[in-house]
Amino acid sequence: MITETEARAILEKEHPDAELKVGDIVPEHNAYVYSITRRKGDDPDARLHNATLYLVDIDTGEISEMNVRELYDDADRDIPLGIYFSGTGNSRYALEVFMKKYHNGAPVRSIEDKEVIKDIAVHREIIFSYPVQYSDVPKIVRDFIDSCPSVWNDKRVTVIATMGLFSGDGAGALGRLLERHGAKIVGGLHLRMPDSIADEKVLKRSHEDNVRLVKAAEDKIALAVDGIKKGKYPREGLGMLPRMAGFFGQRAWFGHKTRSYSDGPKIDPDICVGCGKCAKMCPTGNITMKDGKAHSAAVCTLCYRCVNICPKQAITLLGKQVVQQTTIERYL
Ligand SMILES: Cc1cc2nc3c(=O)[nH]c(=O)nc-3n(C[C@H](O)[C@H](O)[C@H](O)COP(=O)(O)O)c2cc1C
Ligand code: SF4
Ligand code: SF4
């Protein structure tokens, strides 16, 4: 192994007129890395905007060159990436709060974003937030994971599962899908949030209680992130006991509902005013506009976005009547 002074001497021999800057070790390249910011004899204020970096191999002293952009890409790899799917905003908001505290400025992307796969390919650590459905993973999220199987290999993933009340193993359910493609699940965090099933009375809370619930989730996220920064990851929903709770609590009876897309919501043509909001927001393209009315097909992922945003409450899915529309913004 050569010292930094020896590495510098090797490079100076190769570039005698250069003023070398920084001899940082970049472990991934097993090399000291230098940039040439000025040539000797240049105006002291003149700086070379040189995109080339010079790497001196720590073991062999061999010099190689690299574009500075490649190094930035490598730096990006060490920044965590947040990805989410969200119907009414709970899972998105939870992730945003998490990422702001964990690594402010780190990217947060929806799985509906076309560029998201490229981002996943770059980053090593992923925080994946999603809403539990029947203690299971929504169909659109399953399909997303399986659409890019190789990209998950070796990723370190923390799963955030948001839920109205209980999932048993929400984090584990998503984690197992990712593990099949080579990911390593390092953490699981369960957050109770406002219930998104707008057309069922069960689990409905007052506005104040929902505000309190969101605040409690924020506090729980803060505690979890503090722990992670000290190397202690939350392990909610991971392991055999939670898995049994998720299976016997819900999945055994209702899990099949997330295995394929559903028939989709009922849209009352007498109430629909044709504003088009539902069609625009639907993540699967299940709703289309025809003759000034919204129509539903059979590729619904039960996200409940349309039911919650229809200004006329013309849409129902599992229930018969809209009881309480919800989006996270109401409780912030
Ligand atoms: C079809 C469906 C099934 C759900 N199943 C569960 C469940 O099993 N347990 C639970 O606690 N919440 C359940 N929920 C509630 C959501 O998981 C919860 O409201 C979540 O935070 C919504 O997040 P989002 O706004 O990101 O979509 C379900 C919601 C839907 C739409
Ligand atoms: S959001 Fe409601 S009113 Fe607007 S098009 Fe859809 S169903 Fe009709
Ligand atoms: S039809 Fe409604 S509930 Fe179904 S996927 Fe589209 S927005 Fe979500």
End-to-end CA separation in angstroms for the chain:
56
233-239: average pLDDT: 96
Q: What is the pLDDT of residue 121?
A: 80
Domain span holding position 228: 78-258
- pLDDT tops 50 at residue 45: no
94 lines ligand 1 (CB under 6 A): no
Residue 283 has pLDDT above 90, yes or no: yes
Identify which has the larger pLDDT, 1 or 131.
Answer: 131
HSE-CB for 228 with a 13 A CA cutoff? 25
Quick: pLDDT tens for 75-93.
Answer: 677 899 999 999 999 999 9
Which of residues 215, 239, 258 is at a domain's end?
258
Specify the pLDDT at position 68.
Answer: 58
Instruction: Tell me the ligand closest to 305's alpha carbon.
Output: 3
The residue whose C-alpha atom lies closest to atom 8 belonging to ligand 3 is 303
Residue 137 pLDDT class (50, 70, 90 cuts): very high
Which pLDDT score, from 0 to 100, does residue 73 have?
60
CATH number for the domain harbouring residue 89: 3.40.50.360
Tell me what the mean pLDDT of segment 146-173 comes to.
92
Ligand 3 site-directed mutation target among 284, 296, 310, most atoms within 8 Å of CB: 284
| Residues whose CB is less than 8 angstroms from the CB of residue 264 and which lie 6 or more positions away in sequence, other chains included | 286, 287, 296, 297, 298, 299, 300, 317
Q: Are residues 57 and 151 located together in one domain of the fold?
A: no
Residue 315 shares a structural domain with residue 226: no
Q: Whose CA is closest to atom 3 on ligand 2?
A: 272
pTM: 0.81
Distance CA 174, CA 224 (A): 19
Pair 274, 125 in one domain: no
Question: Who wins on pLDDT, 46 or 37?
Answer: 37
Of 195-199, 201-205, 234-238, the least confident: 201-205
Ligand 1 atom closest to the CA of 305, numbered from 1: 27
Q: What's the whole-number average pLDDT of the chain?
A: 89
Mind listing the pLDDT tens digit for each residue in 97-123?
A: 999 999 988 999 999 987 788 788 888
Which residue puts its alpha carbon closest to atom 2 of ligand 2? 310
Query: If you take atom 7 of ligand 2, which residue's CA is the nearest one?
Result: 272
The pocket around ligand 2, CB under 6 angstroms, is made up of 267, 272-278, 294, 310-312, 314-315
DSSP codes, 221-252: HHHHHHHHHTT---BTT-SHHHHHHHIIIIIH
Mean pLDDT of 125-145: 96
For 183, residues 6+ apart whose C-beta sits below 8 A from its C-beta are 126, 152, 153, 154, 155, 156, 157, 175
> Domain for residue 88, yes or no?
yes
How many structural domains are present in the chain?
3
Q: Which domain-ending residue is among 199, 226, 258?
A: 258
| Residues 184 and 115 both lie in one domain | yes
Mutating to test ligand 3, I would choose from 143, 282, 296, 322 the residue with most ligand atoms within 8 A of its C-beta, which is 282
CATH number at residue 272: 3.30.70.20
For ligand 1, the distance from its centroid to the CA atom of residue 274, given in whole angstroms, is 27
Q: Is the pLDDT of residue 150 over 90?
A: no
- Tell whether the torsion through CA atoms of 162, 166, 172 and 177 is positive or negative: negative
- Domain membership of residue 331 (yes or no) is no
Pocket test for ligand 3, best of 91, 302, 305 (most atoms within 8 A of CB): 305
Same domain for 230 and 292: no
For residues 139 and 158, state if they share a domain: yes
